Structure formats: structure tokens, C-alpha cells
Copies of this chain bind each other. A is one copy, B any other.
Amino acid sequence: MRTVVSSATRTVVISPDDPFVIIGERINPTGRKQLLAEMQAGDLSRVRRDAVSQTESGAHILDVNAGVPGADEVALLSQVVQEVMAVTDLPLCFDSANPAALEAALALYSGKPLINSVTGEESSMEKVLPLVKKYNAAVIAMPNDEGGIRMDPQERLTVARKILERAQDYGIPPEDVIIDCQAMAVSADHRAGLVTLETIRLVRQELGNNTVVGASNISFGLPDRKALNATFLAMAIAAGLTCAITNPNVAEIRKTIRAADLFMGRDEFAMNWITAFRAEQEKEG
């Protein structure tokens, strides 16, 4: 399946036959004290810098989250989206659980964005899916519902099917729904990695939809997170993952994704690998 998202001037295709797609995770105050404080004070200069740096690092899409406690998310998300659109032409991914904030951002956007996310909960599906349809967006579906986050791949598949069916009822085609295979902290549950990898394989095999993970969650609470995140991405790509919300500014992450694309047969004559290697050599020397 091919998921196509776009800005006014750029199109990004997500599919097993195309190079892996990086959704830049940096514009998100969760766990970033300084960014949070600045956003609370109305200073969006770091947001702009993060948009530029992730674009330069090769991100294909930028996730935009304005979840600042105490702030008016409806106004703030739109403001952040406008700041980001002023400095990059990458397609955006609106990251909010607040339907009003999503709708305000959707209304001012040109192109086909991603929405992050809808869950299998009735309250989420009935609020988010109409927006996906109305604004012709694509959406990330989290396969959890009123029963919480499942740690069984088959149960995740069942919830994913339910969301896809509901999306179809709203006239949203399956290729516009990307299944989040929910990377959870392996420090809290040593089977978390296996469950995510198996969910990716099942979705690929049984549904054919594109899959995404928030790759940095897997290493929560552990040392040397960059190495862990990079290795997990390689494993997830081998299982069939087609995009990830991750940090493109980390060299290990970029390099691992290039290598994984090469081994997935998506870099003929190793052109991208060799070109990137030479570029890095020139930068160093």
C-alpha cells in the first residue's frame, strides 16, 4: 500500500517499495524542559530551529506537537504549524489528542497532512475520523481501545481492523491509515520489543497497511538510548516497518536507516549509502 502525504509543494510516498520515511520527532515539548518553558512564554524560536535542523538532516515529514500544560492548544498548535510552515516545505504530522486543535491546524494547512492519532476508542474514532475525511488527511491509528494498550500482537491486529473498518465507513481508504505498532519501554516489559516486531509483521502480512512506531519509546529508562533506538529501528525495518517518528538529527539513526534501506533492496548500486558516506567524510575532513 502507498500512503501519500504532501505540503503545498512536496509529496512524500510511504510504501514498502520506497526508502524508509523519517517523521522528525523534535517539535514536541514532552520531556523537553527548555522547549516547554519557551513555548509557555510564547517563544517559538527553538521550534523554528528544530524545523530547519530536521529538514537539513533529511527528515521527510515533521511531527508537530504543542501539548503545553496550561496553554490553549487550539491557538498554540496553529501558531506552531504556521511558524514551521514558514521555514520548511516538508509535509507535517499534527500530533494532538484535541480534535479542536487538530481542526484548526487542518483548516490552515495546504496539502495532505498526517494526523497523529486516532485510537480504537469510540470517543476517539467518532471525533478524529470525520476530520480525516473532511480535510482529506492521512491518519496514524493506535491499536488500543477502551481495554487499554494490548501486549498481544493478535489483539493489536484486532483493534487495528476495527479502526480500519470504521475508517472505511467514513469513506477513508485503507492506504490513508498507518498502523502504529506501539513501541513500549523494554525496561518495563522485556517482551515489549518482540510484541512490536510481531505486530509489524502481522499488519504487513494480514492487512498490508503501512506501519509506524515512535522509535524512541523502546529505550525509555535505559542508558545509551541512541544505540538502542538505532538497533530497534533496523529490526523493525526488517520486520516490515515503513516509517518512524524519530530524531533525524542523530547520526546513528540516519546511518542505520540508510543501511537498512540498502539491505531491504531499496538502494540500488548502494548509491545513497556511498553518497552519504562521502558527504560525511567531506564534512569531517
A interface residues (Cβ-Cβ under 8 A, vs B): 186-187, 190-191, 193-194, 197, 218, 222-224, 227-228, 231-232, 234-239, 255-256, 259-260, 262-265, 267-270, 273-274, 277
Query: With a CB–CB cut-off of 8 A, which chain B residues contact A224?
Result: 255, 273, 277
Complex Cα spacing A228 to B224, Å: 20
Contact A259 B274 (CB under 8 A): no
With A236-B238, A270-B186: A231-B259 Cβ-Cβ less than 8 Å: yes
Within the complex, the shortest CB–CB distance from A68 to chain B, in Å, comes to 32
Query: With a CB–CB cut-off of 8 A, which chain B residues contact A190?
Result: 262, 265, 267-270
Question: Closest 5 interchain pairs by CB?
Answer: A193-B263, A235-B238, A231-B259, A234-B234, A238-B238
Complex Cα spacing A191 to B269, Å: 10
Give the interface centre of A267, A270, A274 by most chain B CB atoms within 10 Å: A270
Contact B231 A256 (CB under 8 A): yes
Please list 6 pairs of residues, one from A and one from B, whose beta carbons are closer than 8 Å in the complex, sorted by A's number: A186-B270, A190-B267, A193-B265, A194-B263, A232-B263, A235-B260
Query: With a CB–CB cut-off of 8 A, which chain B residues contact A235?
Result: 234-235, 237-238, 260, 263
Query: With a CB–CB cut-off of 8 A, which chain B residues contact A218?
Result: 263
Contact A194 B264 (CB under 8 A): yes
Query: With a CB–CB cut-off of 8 A, which chain B residues contact A260?
Result: 231, 235
With A231-B259, A259-B232, A263-B186: A238-B197 Cβ-Cβ less than 8 Å: yes
Give the interface centre of A228, A235, A256, A274 by most chain B CB atoms within 10 Å: A235
Contact B194 A262 (CB under 8 A): no
Contact B238 A273 (CB under 8 A): no
Complex Cα spacing A140 to B241, Å: 31
